Amino acid sequence: MDIKQDLITLFQQNTSVLESGSGKILNNYREQAFRDFDKLGIPTSKNEAYKYTPLDKYMQGNYDMELNANPFKIDLQDIFKCDIPELDTQVVLVLNGFFYSVNQTEQLPEGVVVCGLNEASVRFPDLFHKHYSHYADTSADGIVALNTLFAQDGVFVYVPANKTVEKPIQIINLSHSYKNLRITRRNLIVAGENSRVNLVVCDHTLCQQSYLANSLTEIYAGRNAVIDYNRLQNENHLSIQINNLFVHQEENSRFTSNNISLHGGLIRNNVYATLNGPHSETNLYGLFLSDDKQHVANYILVDHASPNCTSNQLFKGILDDDATGSFNGKILVRKDSQKTQAYQKNNNILLSTAARMNTKPHLEIYADDVKCSHGATVGQLDMEAMFYLRSRGIGEKESRHLLMYAFANEIVSKISIPVLKDRIIELVDKRLRGELSRCSNCDIRCG
C-alpha cells in the first residue's frame, strides 16, 4: 500500500471541501505543502531523523477522516469534565482536531484571544500573515507538509504585549469516534512583548479506536515574553500521535516545556526551538514511562541563532516489557552566536531485557566562545541503591518504585503549576505501579 499516494488522492478528492471550510490564509499554504509532501512523502527509516521511528510503517492501516467539524451530536461538557477541579484553568476543548468550546472561568485580560484556529485566521489576518506557517518548514519534513496540507482547525491563543494571563490555558484534545480516525490539529500561540502565559495541553481518547493524530503547534515568543508549556500525553495504546512543536523566540524571552508521556501506542515528539534574539532561554524537559509495545521518540533541535542565549534539554525515560524509544537531540550553534550556553542530558532506565533505547546527542558548533555539554546514559536501576533500601526493611517492589519515582521526579518537579505537578506526581506514581494512570472520568474501556 502506498501511503503517500493514498494521502495525495485523499487530498485531491477532498480539496474543495477542505478549502470551502477553511479560511483563506490556511488555504494559501496548501499548494506549497502539496509540492513538499509530494516530494518528501512520509518519513521512513532511511530518513536519519526517523531511523528508529519509521512512520511509513506506523501509519499503515485504514483510517477515516472528518472533513467537517463536529459530526457527532454529543454534549462534551456533559461527558467530559477534567478531574483536577483545583486546576483552575480556562478550558479549551478540541474534538477530533476541531475547536469545540472554550470555558472561560474569568474575564481574560483585554485583547487576549483564545478561540478556534480557523475562526481566528479570518478574524486576525494580520497576525496570521505574520506568523502562520512561518516557523513550521514544510520543505524539511513530509509530516509537517502533511499537517499543513490538511490543516483545518485547532486552537489559537494570542496574548498582546504587556499582558499576563494568570490562569493557565488548558487545551484538551479529545478523540471520539466509532471508527479508526485520522486527525489533523494545528495550533498557533502568539505571545507579544513582555507577556506571560501558561499552557497545559492534555489528551483524552474517549473510545477504544485507534487515532492517528498529526499535531502541529507554532509558538511565537516576543521580546521578554515568558511561556510555560506543559504537555501531558495520555492516549490509548492503539493510538499514534505525531507532534511537531515549533518555537520561535525573540530577545530575552523564556520558553519552558515539560512533556510527560504516559500512555499511547506511538508517540513522536519533534521540537524545534529557534533562539532568534539574544539573551533568550529555552528549557525543554521530557519524561516518558513506557511498557507493552509502546514506542516513544523525542527529536529535538535547538537552534542558537543569536549570541548570549541559553538552552537546557533534559529528557528521561523508563522502558519496560518490549517498549522501544529514541532520543535525538541536536544543538546547533551558529557562527555569530558567541557566549552560548547549551546543555543536553538524556538518561534512560531499561527494566526488561527486551526494551530498547536509542539515544543520539548531536552538537554542531560554529562559534568559538561557547559552553556546551551533552551526556546520555542507558542503564538499569542502581543495584547498590536497591540493596541499601532493602537492607532497611523496604521490600524489593517498593524499593524499585522509590528509585524509579526518584528518577522521574527530576522532571516532574520542574512543573511550575503546583496543582498540576501534584496531579502528575500522582499519575506517574500510578503508572510506575503498573496501574492505569488515566484521569478518573476517562473511559477505561479505552485501555
- Residues of the shown chain interacting with other proteins in the complex, contacts defined by CB under 8 A: 382, 384-385, 387-396, 398-399, 402-403, 405-407, 409-410
Q: Measured from the CB atom, is 102 or 402 closer to other proteins? A: 402
Angle in degrees, CA 272, 429, 423, rounded to 5: 70
Choose between 335 and 392: whose C-beta lies nearer to other proteins.
392
Q: Amino acid letter at 377?
A: T
Residue closer to other proteins by CB (options 58, 343) is 343
HSE (side-chain half, CA atoms, 13 Å) at 226: 10
Q: CB nearer to other proteins: give 354 or 406.
A: 406
Q: Least Å distance between CB 269 and other proteins? A: 24
Q: Order the strands of the 310-319 sheet from edge to edge.
A: 98-103, 90-95, 169-175, 196-205, 226-234, 254-263, 281-290, 310-319, 340-350, 370-379
Q: CB of 351: closest distance to other proteins in angstroms?
A: 17
Minimal distance in Å, beta carbon 312 to other proteins?
18
- Cα Dmax for the chain: 69
Q: Alpha carbon of 162 to those of 152, 241, 315: distances in Å? A: 30, 35, 32
**CB of 386 vs other proteins, minimal distance in Å:** 9
CA distance 358 to 158: 38
Which residues, 6+ apart, have CB-to-CB distance to 357 below 8 Å? 317, 319, 324, 325, 326, 327, 348, 350, 378
Of 97, 227, 256, whose CA–CA distance to 158 is shortest?
227
Q: How many residues does the chain have?
A: 447
Cβ 410 to other proteins shortest distance, Å: 6
CB of 119 to other proteins, least distance (A): 45
The CB-of-316 to other proteins minimum distance in angstroms stands at 11
Q: 322 or 382: whose CB is closer to other proteins?
A: 382
Contacts (Cβ under 8 Å, ≥6 apart) of 232: 200, 201, 202, 203, 260, 262, 424, 427
User: Considering beta carbons, is residue 343 or 405 the nearer one to other proteins?
Assistant: 405
CB of 397 to other proteins, least distance (A): 10
Q: Which is nearer to other proteins, 106 or 396 (CB)?
A: 396
Question: 387: part of which helix (H) or strand (E)?
Answer: helix 383-390
Burial class (CB in 10 A: 0-12, 13-18, 19+), 184: buried
CB nearer to other proteins: pick between 8 and 402 = 402
Q: How far is the CB of 429 from other proteins (least distance, A)?
A: 12
CB of 376 to other proteins, least distance (A): 17
Beta bridge partners of 267: 241, 296
Q: How far apart are CA 285 and CA 344, in angstroms?
A: 10
> How far, in Å, CA of 120 to CA of 99, rounded?
11
Query: Whose Cβ is closer to other proteins: residue 207's or residue 404's?
Result: 404
Helix, strand, coil in percent for the chain, rounding step 5: 25, 40, 35
Q: CA 349, CA 356: separation in Å to the nearest integer?
A: 10
What are 387's three cell numbers? Answer: 540493596
Q: Helices 418-432 and 396-412, interaxial angle, to 10°?
A: 150
Pairing of strands 211-221, 240-249: parallel
Kindly tell me which of 205 and 399 has the beta carbon lying closer to other proteins.
Answer: 399
| Smallest separation, CB 258 to other proteins (Å) | 17
Nearer to other proteins, 368 or 384 (CB): 384
